[in-house]
Every structure is written in C-alpha cells, then in structure tokens.
Amino acid sequence: MMTHVRMFGRMVGLNVTMTIAYRAAFFALMVSSVIQPVVSLLVMLTIESQGADLPFDRSQLVTYYLLLSFVAICTGCWVGEYLAEGIRDGELSNTLVRPVPYIYNFVTNNIGEKIVKLPLLLPILIVIALLFRSELSLPSDPLRWIGFGIAVVFAAATAFLLDFALGSLAFWIKDVSGLFRIKDLLQGLLAGQFVPLALFPPAFAPFLEVQPFRYTLSFPLEVLAGTLDGAALVRGFAWQIGYSVVLWLCYRVIWHYGLKSYEAVGR
Amino acid sequence: MLMHHLRVWRQFWLVAFMRQSAFRANFFLSLFEGLAQVVLVVTTFAIIYQYTPDIAGWTQAQVLIVVGLYRIVDGIINAQVAPNMREIDKYVQTGELDLLLLRPVESQFLVSTRLVALPELINIPIGLALLIYAGLQANLAWSISGILLALMLLLCGTLMIYAVWFMMMALALWFTWSPFESMVGNLFSIGRYPVDFFQRQVRALLTFIVPVAFATTFPAEALLGQLDPLIIVIAPIFALVLLLLSQRFWRWGLRSYGSASS
C-alpha cells in the first residue's frame, strides 16, 4: 500500500515536471479556455440588460461563468482517446508489466497537469474578475465554499471515470472517436457549459437532475451559487457520489473482462 | 505566373481527392459532426430565446441565418485553411520548411494551400440548408443582389480570417511555435453569434482584429437588407490590406527563420 502511495506521488511529480517544460504553451491554452465562457457571459449580460426575466441576476451570471472556467479546468479530461490508442496500438503491453495499476498513468498525468494549469489560470481569472468587478459578488458563507470544494473533487472523479470507462471500450470497439464526439456534444449541452442548466425549460428539470453530465461541471457551481435547497443538495451529492462509485465499478468490470480479451500487437 | 499557381492548386485538390476517397468513413464522421454542431447551437439558442423575443434586435430565425452562414464559412475554413495553418509551426520545428522554400512556387501560397480536407466540405450544404430554413422562418425577401452581396462579403470575410490566422501562425518563424495555435479555433467560433450581441469594444475587436463579423454577421445583414452600405466598400479593401499585410509579415519572418534541419 505504502509503495503504491509513494509511486503515485513520484508519478505526479514527474508529470508536473513534464508539464512545466511546456508552461508557455499551457498558459496559452488557459487563455484559450476562458474565451468561450466569457463570450457566453457577454451574450447573457446583453440579454439580461434588455430586461429579460432570467432566473439569474447579473452578479450570479458573472460568478457562474467566471468559476465555470475554473471548474472546467479542475474537472477537465483528455484520457479517453489516449487510452483507446494505447489499447489499439499495443502500447498498453509496456505498462502492464509495471508494478502499479495502469490507471495510475492517467490519474497522475491528469493531476500533474492540473497542478500546473491552475496557477496559470489564476491570473487570467483575476483579470476577468477585475473587468467585471462591479458585478461580481462571491458568496461569503464558508460552508458553501467547502461544499463547492467537495463537489469539485467528485466532479473531477466522475468526469475522469466516465472518460476512462468509455475509452476502455477500445478493448472491443476498434474506433471509439465517434463515441467521444457524441459524448463531447452531450457534455457541452448537458453539463451547463454554454447555458446554465437552470435556464432549460422546467419540463426538463427531472431529466437534468439524473443525467451524469450535470455532476461533472454544473453541480459544484449550483452548490456555490446557493440555488439548491437542503433536500436538493443532499440528492445532488448522493447522485454525484453514486455516479463516481458506479463508474468506478464499470471501470473494474470492463478491465477485468477487457484484459482477458486483449491481444497485444507485438512491438 | 497566376495560371501556374492555379494549376498547382488544382493538383492539390486532385491529390486530396485521390487520397481521401480511400477513407470514406471520414466523410460520415464529418457529416455527423457538422449536424451535431448545428443541433448544439440551435438548442442553445432555443433555450435562450425562451426568455426574450430578440437579442440586440435579432430574432431567433435571424440568428439561425448567422449560424447557417457560420457553418458554410467553417466548412471552407476547415477544408482549405485550417489543415494548412495547423502545420506551419511543424514545418518550422522539423525543418521541412527548407524543402518547401525550394519549390518553384510562392512559399506562402504553398504552405497555405497544399493540404485539403475534403470531407469538411459537407458543412457547406448543411449550412446552406439551415440558412434556407431560417430564411423562410424569418420571412426573408430573397433578392439576387442580396445573395450576391452576401457571397462577396462571405468571401472577403473568409480571406480576412485566413490572413489573420496565417499571421498568427507565422509567428512560429521567430519563436518556433505560436501562442495563438490553441486559441484561433475558439476565437473564430465567436462568428456564430451576430456581433451586435456584444458591447461596443468587443464588436470593434470582432470586426477589425478577429474579423469574423465580415464572414457571418455582415452577409446575414446583406440578406436581411439591413447592411450599412459603407461595409460594401470597406470589406474588399480591408481583405486586400490584410492579405498584403500577411504577405509582408511572412517575408519579414522568413528573414529571421534560421532552419532547424540537420
């Protein structure tokens, strides 16, 4: 157990070092990542200033889209297609013989890159916050921030495991890129990336609450914004933790059967 | 000289056709992706327009005209511009640029046209279909002059986007990479919104720095008969200026290019 923890730490460190080597490119990537949320915010502010009766006021809109960039980086995922490629081209064989589970490569890469990305994102967010300072009002209740933090961690886990489970289907499906395109499309819409889920027609609310993408991005923001009552909060956390556990079980089952059917391409 | 370049360009398309007709599945992937993009944007606008009959004077049907135009421009860009722009920094990093510079054609022309992603062209009929549907919804009075004007503006706008993107990527001649590489896609995708949705400074930015307004908003206004006549004069001049500027910039950069090949 201790060996695993130590190796995990080393692998995170390694990934941090590798990412820092490309810090300038990663900074550009962070600037790029805020473009879409800022554009969405500007459009929503225009609609709001026309007197539209939105369920969000101006300061809530600013808070939502500002922190959206932050949560999106915290929960961001790029494992699926790399994993699928590793399974397809036999690179998986090289790492299977290592003394740590294969998933560690991807978890540590994910954490390592985020350790570098978040400090690079921070100054950009501060600049945006200053631009909108007259309309920004972050909640002061520490409990909400703690709830937000927990929700972000589980959101990252849910997003990661969803990606990993889908990518693992490459054991049986040769080309998973179509699958990921569908997933990206659904996630764009159903995670609240463009429009907060609260703006969807009320008839969709029961569906929006149970679908997994809400728990990868929107839910932490809802916790922080304080738009959920006590019962909805408990339900939300239950769904989120439930999705993390179920997706983890999916990963275990897929890998149990997947490795049996895996035929390495020789290298 | 011009004829020679046109013949070379035609060869690039022929080669692309021969190579890519072997991978027919990619065509369906592009078709699916284009349709999915349309579904995403149309749904997003449907949600937003529940709360308001118009945004900055644009009704939902009028906005869908812009979205349709964006799909057409995106198809052209993704087929002919983007594949080449994505390679420019790699030519510099690998030293392949040396070989390209030796060829008997204008080097900017060569690095900008040699790759063509044919399946992306499917976005043009998808955008056209959306445009016609939205036009009918918006009770558009189709006129020959409006269509020709829209076409001219769309062409100018696409050339402007190319010129700006090319200059952004040409920075690789000095730095071996371009900080804009990861940004351009996100920047140009703002073209799916009419620029009137934004505050004045942002609008100026989207007209003259990241000139997406010329490619989508202004052609839509031309179709709707709401175009500021001044734009008709500005568009071709500005496109020409940006193209000449990109040529200057490229030649200036080549002088600092040190070659990385062994």
The mean pLDDT value for B84-100 works out to 91
Record: contact A46-B56, CB cut-off 8 A:
yes
pLDDT tier at A222, thresholds 50, 70, 90: very high
Which burial class, exposed, middle or buried, applies to B142 when counting CB atoms under 10 A from its CB (0-12, 13-18, 19+)? exposed
pLDDT tier at B63, thresholds 50, 70, 90: very high
Record: contact A35-B47, CB cut-off 8 A:
no
- Residue A266: the pLDDT is 53
The answer to whether residue B52 neighbours chain A at the CB level (below 8 Å) is yes
The percent of residues in chain B predicted with pLDDT above 90, rounded, is: 75
Q: Provide CB contacts within 8 A for B169, sequence distance 6+.
A: B85, B88, B89, B178, B180, B181
Name which of B27, B40, B171 to mutate to probe chain A: the one with the most chain A Cβ atoms within 10 A of its Cβ: B40
The pLDDT tens digits of the residues spanning A191-206 come to 999 899 999 999 999 9
For chain A, the residues whose C-beta falls within 8 A of a C-beta of chain B are 24-25, 27-29, 31-32, 35-36, 39, 42-44, 46-47, 50, 52-54, 177-178, 181-182, 185, 188-189, 194-195, 199-201
Name the residue facing A188 among B40, B179, B202 (closest C-beta).
B40
The pLDDT tens digits of the residues spanning A11-37 come to 999 999 988 888 899 999 999 999 999
ipTM: 0.89
Name the residue facing B186 among A32, A46, A199 (closest C-beta).
A32
pLDDT tier at A91, thresholds 50, 70, 90: confident
Give the mean pLDDT of chain B: 92
- Residue A177: the pLDDT is 80
The answer to whether residue B204 neighbours chain A at the CB level (below 8 Å) is no
pLDDT tier at B251, thresholds 50, 70, 90: very high
- Residue A265: the pLDDT is 59
Strand partners, B58: B55
pLDDT tier at B47, thresholds 50, 70, 90: very high
Higher pLDDT residue, A182 or B114? B114
Quote the distance between the C-alpha of residue B55 and its chain's center. Answer: 25
- Residue A98: the pLDDT is 81
**B19-33, B185-199, B238-252: segment of lowest average pLDDT:** B19-33
pLDDT tier at A267, thresholds 50, 70, 90: very low
- Measured in angstroms, the CA of A37 and the nearest CA of chain B are apart by 10
- Residue A264: the pLDDT is 67
- Measured in angstroms, the CA of A126 and the nearest CA of chain B are apart by 19
- Residue A184: the pLDDT is 86
Record: contact B197-A189, CB cut-off 8 A:
no
The mean pLDDT value for B250-259 works out to 87
With beta carbons under 8 A apart, name residues in chain A contacting B193: 39, 43
With beta carbons under 8 A apart, name residues in chain A contacting B44: 189, 194-195
Give the mean pLDDT of chain A: 90
Record: contact B197-A46, CB cut-off 8 A:
yes
The pLDDT tens digits of the residues spanning A142-184 come to 999 999 999 999 999 999 999 999 988 888 887 788 788 888 8
Q: Is B235's pLDDT higher than 90?
A: yes
The percent of residues in chain A predicted with pLDDT above 90, rounded, is: 58
Q: Is B202's pLDDT higher than 60?
A: yes
- Residue B262: the pLDDT is 46
Name the residue facing B29 among A47, A178, A199 (closest C-beta).
A178
The percent of residues in chain B predicted with pLDDT above 70, rounded, is: 98
Parse chain A into domains and list their residue ranges: 2-264
Q: Is B1's pLDDT higher than 90?
A: no
The answer to whether residue B261 neighbours chain A at the CB level (below 8 Å) is no
The mean pLDDT value for B60-64 works out to 96
The mean pLDDT value for A94-109 works out to 85
The mean pLDDT value for B149-168 works out to 96
- Residue A260: the pLDDT is 85
Q: Is B98's pLDDT higher than 80?
A: yes
Higher pLDDT residue, B215 or A261? B215
The mean pLDDT value for B111-131 works out to 94
pLDDT tier at B260, thresholds 50, 70, 90: low
- Residue B170: the pLDDT is 95
Record: contact B198-A43, CB cut-off 8 A:
yes
